[in-house]
Amino acid sequence: MANLATKAGVERAEVTINAPLIQLPKADIIRLGLSLGVDYSLTVSCYQADGQGRACGECDACRLRRAGFDSAGVADPTCYRL
């Protein structure tokens, strides 16, 4: 799509999209983030977070996030509404 829908693509410049985390399980992404100093309490994955940044706890993103923290053996610092 980037090759068709961007100026660079239309002008025949090569557009490359890198997604280095796409093949990693969530637990590995969490561990990697922690090793890099990510403060996960400042992040939200929820599709329906409220105005205060609280996650719904029910959407796919919330469930995957919780499962990733569980699998990594790390406490999830997310503030969930539920």
pLDDT digits 0-9 by tens, 8-63: 777 877 778 889 999 999 999 999 999 999 999 999 999 999 999 999 999 999 99
pLDDT at 19 (0 to 100): 94
User: Is the pLDDT confidence value at 68 over 90?
Assistant: yes
Is the pTM of the predicted complex or chain greater than 0.85?
A: no
Task: Please report which helix (H) or strand (E) contains residue 66, including its range.
Answer: helix 60-72
| Residue 56 near residue 81 (C-beta atoms within 8 A) | yes
- Alpha helices, H only, 1-82: 2-5, 7-10, 26-35, 60-72
pLDDT at 49 (0 to 100): 94
